Every structure is written in structure tokens, then in C-alpha cells.
Amino acid sequence: MVAVAILAAGRGTRMKSEQPKVLHQLGGRSLVERVLLSISDVRPSHCFVIVGYKGELVQAVCEARLSLDRQFGQLPALTFVEQTQQLGTGHAIQQLLPHLEGFEGDLLVLNGDVPLLQPETIKMLVETHTTHKNAATLLTAQLPDPKGYGRVFCDRDNFLQQIVEDRDCTPEQKQNRRINAGVYCFNWPALAKVLPDLKANNDQQEYYLTDAVNFLAPVMAVDVADYQEILGINDRKQLAIADSILQERLKDRWMRAGVTLVDPNSITIDDTVQFDPDVIIEPQTHLRGHTVIRSGARIGPGSLIENSEIGENVRVLYSVITDSQVAADSVVGPYAHLRGKAKIGQGCRVGNFVEIKKSTVGDRSNVAHLSYLGDATLGERVNIGAGTITANYDGVNKHQTTIGDGSKTGANSVLVAPVTLGENVTVAAGSTITKDVEDNALAIARSRQASIANWQPLKKD
Ligand code: UD1
Ligand code: CA
């Protein structure tokens, strides 16, 4: 049986942020969420998150994401344990003593600021630990630049001799490039026995978890194959480096799955985005949140799509789409903004400076130039003329506009909601429509044009 503890109580002073470090974002997820994802193969019996600095916020984010995202499906409910004062990583784990009384299994400990670990790596660590029946097993890496990390000293069989924190290292010890990743698997009864004996006699006057490791035997170290996985985030520079590693991973994965990325370095993709094969993403395109892109779609250049579903063979050009859906074979843009649950049907054309909010556009309808549709429901084959605006807001409430199948609005029409146009209605250009229009009618609501013959313009004396 394995219990998990994630250390997430520190503020992360070096981030220079009001926000707790573990809530900083990487590829659309917070650091702590990423750590939670990395334990998905372990199937823990308990999962503790040690919180301190803005703990209620960390708890709220974790709980909200866990309930939202199917990828966390394997995890038990999280137990948040408060560490009121952050007196060190060992002190953080001491907080678990009352929670795990009598627990006979293993405890997997992860730092909340190590977000790139792969589930297979964690699985390998736990398996090595259980096969060898170690008192503790820790994940290590050979870093080209080990500065800042605890150094790990082992004998030839990878049994631990000592971990020394960077700041407590002698100049010779600093030469060792094998570092402590901050990820450990402990035999809990053995750890529980040594935890109360930790002393804070080090440079930081903190209770170090690494000291507990030093008290245990046998302790084995296992190197991770790719050192990039264990990079810790202590400042914004490291956050940016981790972000580029993550982007590269995601892009490799999607290109292998049949997605063309044109100029991949200019594209960003959250790891919650899904693609069907045969999608083309053009430069300067950013895909975020729970977005799905179907086969044959071509997105970009210059587009931002967030929490939206883009259907088969859809073309999106220089546009922003959030929380919306576009069905197959439609064309969006250049310069369209779809938001707040806009739902575009099949074979539609939306674009050239068009904003659509919380509206449904039926199949084969066009909203092709300079329009705003808000809180509107359009039938099929509707043609919205250039510059048509739904006046949906009276200053207090939003109102609905409904337009039946086959209707057309002329250029520069204003539809003052609430208002309903029937089927096959024609609205004359420049009309301000304030009353419902019946099926098959022509609605004209503008002042009649007058001509005054032989008009003599006024002249200055
Ligand atoms: C720690 C390890 C170091 C290792 C490195 C890997 C110790 C003493 N050192 O150093 O050997 O190479 O991680 O990244 O463990 N935290 C708490 N409560 C506390 C203190 C910290 O929850 O009282 C949390 C922090 O929020 C953070 C994690 O523990 O998520 C690690 O703490 P941090 O101060 O960043 O440790 P490092 O100095 O990086
Ligand atoms: Ca750290």
C-alpha cells in the first residue's frame, strides 16, 4: 500500500509573487496539478497535500481541477494537512505523524515544485523500492549544472551514503553532479521512527527531510533517465525553461500523432488540448484549455483557441475563439471573435471583423462582415448583412434575438432585442427593427428618402 504526500506549503520566495509557487501555471495547469498527474499510475491509498502559505487557495484549486478533469480519475480524495509555519521539508512530513498512525505501507513524497515528472518514472521508483525492500529509495539525476540542489553520495551499488544540501556542501562536495530530485519512497514505519529526531542544525535552521533519509538504511538511489524530468521550479527563469521542455514534449507527441505544426516554436499548446490526426496548425497559434480540434481542420496563422471544439475541415484564420463550438466545414475569420458559448453550425462563414457571443448560428448561415451577434439564435441558411448588429442589452438586462431559416438582413441593420424574425424574412438595409416580423415578409424601418429637385446650396456673401 502506498500513501502519497505532496509538499506544497512554501511560498516560493524566489518567485517574487503573491501567489503560492505551486499555483503558478505551466502549459495550462498549475505546478501542483502536474505533480498530482505524475502519480496517476501509483494508485495511492491516501493522498496528502501539505499546505501552508495561502493553503485555502491551493486546496480550492486542487479540488476544483480534480472534479473537472478525467485525467485525475485514479486518485483518492485529497487530504489537506496544514503546516502553519514552514520549518523545512522534514517538518512538513512530521505533520503526517497523527494522520498515518499505525499505517504499515510506503509513503511516496514529492516536492510540489517538480512538475515535469512522468508517471512511468514514479512507477519505476516505487517498484524499485518495493522489490528491494529498502527503508527508503530516492530519485536522483546527473545534472550538467547541479547548483542549488542537494548532492547525493552513494557507494558503487547505489546505496546511499549521504545527502548534503548545496549550501552545506564543501567545495569538493559541490563537484558531485548527482542530485536529489526531492522525490522519495519511504517505508513509513521506519521513517515515522526517525522523524521526531530531526534537528535544525544546518545553514537554513530548518528540519530537512534529507536528514531523515540520512538516518535510514538501506537507502537506494535511482537515476532518472532524462534529467529534465526532475527540474525544480524556484524562480521565473526555471518556470520558463520548464515551459519550453513541456512544449517540446507536447509538440513531439502531436506531430507523431499526425498533426502538422508549421513553425512549431511560434505555437503553444496546453496539454489539455486534443487533436484528431490530419490537422494543420499554422504559426503564432495558441491552443488552450479543453480544446478539441477535429480532423482536416486548419488553424492559424495568428489564432487563439481556448476551451472550444473545432469541427472537421474547419478553417480558422487570425481569430480568437473561447468557450465555443464550430461545426464541420465552416470558415472563421479573418478577424472573428467567438466567445461565451457561441455555437456555429456546419458550412457557415463567420469573419472579417465579426463578434459572436452566446449565440447559435444554424448550418450554412453566413455572418461575413463587421457584425455583432449577442444572445441570438439563427436558423439555417441565414445571411447576416455587413454591419448587422443585435442590440441585446438595454443597460440592465440582456435580451434574445431569433432569426428563422432562410432570412436575410441588409447592410447596417440593427435588431433591437427582444425581437423575432420569422422564416425567409428580408430586412432592408439600414433598418432598425424593434418589432417581430412574420414569415416571408420584407421589413423596412428607416426614413424614406426624399429628393428636393434643383437644390441651390447656400453661398457665402
Ligand atoms: C529540496 C531538497 C534538495 C533537493 C531539491 C529538489 C530538502 C532539505 N532539500 O530543496 O535536496 O535537491 O528539493 O528540488 O528537502 N516545503 C514545505 N514546507 C516547508 C518547506 C518546503 O511544504 O517547510 C515545500 C515547498 O513548498 C516546495 C518543496 O517543499 O514545494 C521543496 O522546498 P524547497 O524549499 O524548494 O526545497 P529546495 O531548497 O529546493
Ligand atoms: Ca525547490
Look at residue 276 in the predicted model and tell me its pLDDT: 98
Closest CA to 282 of 319, 307, 324, 253: 319
Look up 46 and say whether it is catalytic.
no
Q: Whole-angstrom Cα distance, residue 111 to residue 244? A: 21
Q: What is the pLDDT of residues 358-411, one digit of tens each?
A: 999 999 999 999 999 999 999 999 999 999 999 999 999 999 999 999 999 999
For helices 31-38 and 119-132, what crossing angle results, to 10°? 50
pTM for this model (two decimals): 0.91
Q: What is the pLDDT of residues 23-46, one digit of tens each?
A: 999 999 999 999 999 998 999 999
Question: What atom of ligand 1 comes closest to residue 11's alpha carbon?
Answer: 26
Which pLDDT band holds residue 186 (cuts at 50, 70, 90)?
very high
Q: How far is the CA of 23 from the centre of ligand 1 (A)?
A: 16
Q: What is the mean pLDDT of residues 342-363?
A: 98
Sequence ranges of the domains in the chain: 2-234, 237-443
pLDDT surpassing 90 at residue 294? yes
Look at residue 75 in the predicted model and tell me its pLDDT: 85
For residues 179 and 164, the answer to whether their CB atoms sit within 8 Å is no
Report helix, strand or coil for 256.
Answer: helix
Q: What is the pLDDT of residues 85-144, one digit of tens each?
A: 999 999 999 999 999 999 999 999 999 999 999 999 999 999 999 999 999 999 999 999
Q: Whole-angstrom Cα distance, residue 231 to residue 116? A: 7
Mean pLDDT of the chain: 96
Q: Pocket around ligand 1: residues whose beta carbon is below 6 Å from it?
A: 7-10, 22, 50, 83, 86-89, 91-92, 111-114, 149-150, 165, 179-182, 208-210, 232, 234
Architecture of the 2-234 domain: Alpha-Beta Complex (3.90)
pLDDT surpassing 80 at residue 162? yes
Give the CATH class of 237-443: mainly beta
pLDDT surpassing 80 at residue 69? no
